[in-house]
Structure 1
Amino acid sequence: MSCYYLHSDNAKQALDAIAKGLSTVRLSTDLHITEQDFAVNAEGLILDEDNQLTIAELKKIVKKTGRIYLCQDGDMDPLEDRSVGYYKLAPTNGAPLLEISGVKMHISKGTDPFTSASEMAQQAVTKGDRVLDCCSGLGYAAIAAHRLGASEVLTIELSPEVMGLRAQNPWSKDLGNEGIVQKQGSSYELIQTMSATSFDAVVHDPPRFSLAGELYSEEFYREIYRVLRHGGRLFHYTGNPHVIKTGSSFVDGVIRRLKAAGFKNVKKVEHLMGVSAQK
């Protein structure tokens, strides 16, 4: 079954081609992974026999700049979940980003979410590592760790809504590759069931502190320390450092708790809005 992903930019490309009287337009309908030529005519865009978008439908997509529409079986639906809160995939110039209730869950300014997640993985992962990926979201860091040569990646995501969106995201499809194990559940709870010194690297990309403060606690950092082998590495995304009223920054508090948990070589990685550390 063919499916096509369209957003404001490529709908506009199609409308421009129609306005110029062209018979084809070159589009990426898998969110910048590949491109191919599609037929256009005075009525609209022809993706295939079952999926043809009228000019009115293309104009609707153009107006919704922060949305991605999935076109399949003749239907056109936004890639979103409103069952609990508002979860959606939003377009970028590369891989889509996850947005929850209006908050972007990735670094996307001046880069794209897959690239920044890959750089996070590179901070901790080397070839042959067994990797724990906490709070995996769309799974970009897990896929990057696997591509770096990790022998196994265990990736944990709490939200079934996020897992549902990533199952529809073409950039997340490599999560199905051999060597990546996906678990749905709480990183805070599941890490307590894991054996000591069972991982070479950990990538920890939690929601913001106000939503999941326990994932920034010394107690949780001690669990990460416990499951890492000696010399093992951690990259911890903290998000934009914001200054607390006392004058000490949020990230300084993270660093203090990581050191209290036993980590050494704890350093800010400013361009990735995070911290690296070693056991």
Structure 2
Amino acid sequence: MVTFNLMQSSSARWQIRTRPNRHYPFLSRHPWVMANALAHATLREMTPEVESDDSQSQPADKNAAAETDQQAAESDPNDRQLPVCGDIIDLLDYDGNWIARGLINPASRLRIRLYAFSSEEQIDDATWAERIEQAVARRRLTGSPNPQGGERLIFSESDRMSGLIVDRYADCLSVQITGGALIPRTEMLIREVTAAAARHQTPCQRVLVWMDDATVKHEGVSEETLAELQSLTTLDSEADSTVWYQHNGLEMAIDLQDGQKTGGYLDQQLNHAAAASYMADRRVLDICTYTGGFALAAARAGAKEVVAVDSSERALDIAKRNAERNQLTNVRFDQGDCFDDLKERRERGEQFDAIILDPPRFAGSRNQTNAALRAYTRLNASAVDLLPPGGILVTCSCSGRVSRADFLNMLVDVGRKRGRDLIVLESRGPSPDHVFAVSCPESDYLKCIVVQVI
């Protein structure tokens, strides 16, 4: 484990080269540099003597031994022979040509996050302030905000701030740190986001700062550092962490402390409304309802009955509160596993006029893609079995490793296996506040396909 200093990190500068022919993604401005792409033996501190050298004059020694990841992860943060988490580092190709500038985390497999692709561009407080201002202003291009609504203000790589996600729920900011290299700058980042939100008509009074368990592990964050990071939260830790906000004309609650992601699924906000337009007078099954986004929108749109299913008792409790708050009586909630629930309903001979599938991410890495596609096939085939001819299937994937083409081909396979025709009515993505950068295709992750099953 690495313990981070939450103060601004050292201004020491470092330089490292990629392995041969591993630099091409970064020429296209992709921000993630994995440890296995680096020639670790070329790491050096940028002393004045080094900075005055011609960095392109000598290629790296092809036979030099690479430093191990374990050495980097276990090194003393005070030992200046190696950088500490959050230090600024220049990335060069194997021949010594400058490529980009970023922040290093010696404890992470995602070793460097890149933020500057011009050697003249610095990574300092002014840079972060400018990018935060641009990101919040970008959300205002679609019109005036609803101060009582929800929106994503900062979306990591998509807003050129890899490792930072900020969602706003009414007057509360949910700040998720996904990159350990940003931890030394977190307090400054929160201050700048809060100021930008106020300038753009959405002042916020409360802040929750968090990292999920997987990120803590993968980024090598110590318990002490995590506690210091969480101390930046301004929510009353003894109060109910449930926050109410307006969502598609509904009053919705999310649990910022114990909920998933940053509390809710703002990326699906417009998809909830779009799917609801097909649900009037239909019997609807919503699988993986979470806090009821699709289900309550369908109930409000005039569905005859909505059955909402989730495996989380906590999520269902909040969904029930949401239904009660909005006086929706045509929805009921069942707890169960998505695969088992669909199987049991088929065995009972149930049918629905419309089914909504919004499962969690099945593929967290590239090597999980094939298994994820098999899971999507199984889930969608089970749903098709419960739909009559003319039924509506709304099927979603939030797995960035599964492309839209792969997801549509999965539906082709479902139609073939079940002997049904699937007609796509809409092929949708996330709400526009979830922008994506073309240089980082992983940020184009959400698919929502509305299908009529014949």
TM-score category (smaller protein): 0.5 to 0.7
**Counterpart check, 1:223 vs 2:382:** yes
**Counterpart check, 1:207 vs 2:360:** yes
Note the C-alpha offset of 1:256. 1.2
User: 1:128 matched to which residue of 2?
Assistant: 281
**Counterpart check, 1:251 vs 2:410:** no
Instruction: List runs of 5+ in structure 2 lacking aligned partners.
Output: 1-146, 149-168, 171-203, 210-232, 365-370, 416-420, 432-446
Q: For 2:357 and 2:234, locate their aligned partners in 1 and report how far apart those are by CA, in whole Å.
A: 27
Note the C-alpha offset of 1:129. 0.5
Contact 1:134 1:202 in 2 (8 A): yes
SS at match of 1:217: helix
1:15-45 C-alpha deviation (Å, 9 max, x unpaired): xxxxxxxxxxxx98xx87xxxxxxxxxxxxx
Note the C-alpha offset of 1:270. 2.8
User: 2:162 matched to which residue of 1?
Assistant: none
Q: For 2:206 and 2:337, locate their aligned partners in 1 and report how far apart those are by CA, in whole Å.
A: 37
Q: For 1:64 and 1:121, locate their aligned partners in 2 and report how far apart those are by CA, in whole Å.
A: 32
Q: Could you tell me which of 177, 187, 200 is aligned with 2:338?
A: 187
User: 1:161 matched to which residue of 2?
Assistant: 314
User: 1:64 matched to which residue of 2?
Assistant: 207
Note the C-alpha offset of 1:210. 3.5
User: 2:69 matched to which residue of 1?
Assistant: none
> Which structure carries more strand by proportion?
1
Compared CA separation, residues 174 and 210, structure 1 to 2 (3 A)? farther
User: 2:290 matched to which residue of 1?
Assistant: 137
Q: For 1:98 and 1:206, locate their aligned partners in 2 and report how far apart those are by CA, in whole Å.
A: 19
The number of residues matched between the two structures is 196
User: 1:51 matched to which residue of 2?
Assistant: none
Q: For 1:65 and 1:222, locate their aligned partners in 2 and report how far apart those are by CA, in whole Å.
A: 40
Instruction: List runs of 5+ in structure 1 lacking aligned partners.
Output: 1-26, 33-60, 80-88
Note the C-alpha offset of 1:231. 1.0
SS at match of 2:205: helix
Contact 1:206 1:215 in 2 (8 A): no
Contact 2:286 2:357 in 1 (8 A): yes
SS at match of 1:219: helix
Compared CA separation, residues 250 and 141, structure 1 to 2 (3 A)? same
User: 1:12 matched to which residue of 2?
Assistant: none
**Counterpart check, 1:178 vs 2:321:** no
Q: How does 1:1-279 map onto structure 2 within 5 Å?
A: 62-65=205-208, 77-79=239-241, 94=247, 95-97=252-254, 100=259, 102-103=261-262, 105-108=264-267, 116-122=271-277, 124-125=278-279, 127-167=280-320, 169=321, 171-173=322-324, 177-195=328-346, 198-210=351-363, 213=372, 216-239=375-398, 242=400, 244=401, 249-262=402-415, 263-266=421-424, 268-271=427-430, 273-279=447-453
Q: For 2:335 and 2:308, locate their aligned partners in 1 and report how far apart those are by CA, in whole Å.
A: 9
Q: For 2:345 and 2:318, locate their aligned partners in 1 and report how far apart those are by CA, in whole Å.
A: 27
Q: For 1:68 and 1:224, locate their aligned partners in 2 and report how far apart those are by CA, in whole Å.
A: 43
SS at match of 1:64: strand
TM-score normalised by the chain length of structure 1: 0.57
The Cα RMSD (Å) is 3.7
Contact 1:188 1:215 in 2 (8 A): no
Compared CA separation, residues 63 and 180, structure 1 to 2 (3 A)? closer
AA aligned opposite 2:428: V
Contact 1:203 1:236 in 2 (8 A): yes
Contact 2:380 2:395 in 1 (8 A): no
Compared CA separation, residues 115 and 268, structure 1 to 2 (3 A)? closer
Compared CA separation, residues 153 and 63, structure 1 to 2 (3 A)? closer
TM-score normalised by the chain length of structure 2: 0.37
AA aligned opposite 2:452: Q
Q: For 1:253 and 1:214, locate their aligned partners in 2 and report how far apart those are by CA, in whole Å.
A: 8
Q: For 2:373 and 2:312, locate their aligned partners in 1 and report how far apart those are by CA, in whole Å.
A: 16
Contact 1:68 1:90 in 2 (8 A): no
Q: For 2:234 and 2:413, locate their aligned partners in 1 and report how far apart those are by CA, in whole Å.
A: 44
Note the C-alpha offset of 1:149. 1.4
Q: For 1:271 and 1:146, locate their aligned partners in 2 and report how far apart those are by CA, in whole Å.
A: 22
SS at match of 1:227: coil
